[in-house]
Amino acid sequence: MRRARLALPVLLLAFLLAPAVAQPVSIVPGKAIGPIELGMPLERAREIMAGFGIVEAYEGTLGRGFCNPERGVGVCVFDRWTRLNLNSPGVVVFALTDDARFTTEPGGHKVGGALLGILRTFGLYTTGMQTELLWDPHGLSVDIQPTASGLVAATIGIYVPRASARPAAPAPAGPLALGRPVP
- For 108-119, what is each residue's pLDDT tens digit? 999 999 999 999
- For 13-66, what is each residue's pLDDT tens digit? 444 444 444 444 899 999 999 999 999 999 999 999 999 999 999 999 999 999
* pLDDT given at position 1: 53
Residue 143 has pLDDT above 60, yes or no: yes
pLDDT band at residue 8 under the 50/70/90 scheme: very low
* pLDDT given at position 2: 52
pTM of the predicted model over 0.75:
yes
Residue 137 has pLDDT above 60, yes or no: yes
* pLDDT given at position 139: 97
CA dist list (Å): 51 to 18, 48, 175: 16, 6, 61
**What 3-state class would DSSP assign to 181?**
coil
77-81 — which CB contacts under 8 Å span 24+ positions?
77/36, 77/42, 77/45, 77/46, 77/49, 79/42, 81/159
CB burial class (10 A; 0-12, 13-18, 19+) of residue 116? Answer: exposed
- For 63-110, what is each residue's pLDDT tens digit? 999 999 999 999 999 999 999 999 999 999 999 999 999 999 999 999
**What 3-state class would DSSP assign to 123?**
coil
Residue 183 has pLDDT above 50, yes or no: no
- For 120-129, what is each residue's pLDDT tens digit? 999 999 999 8
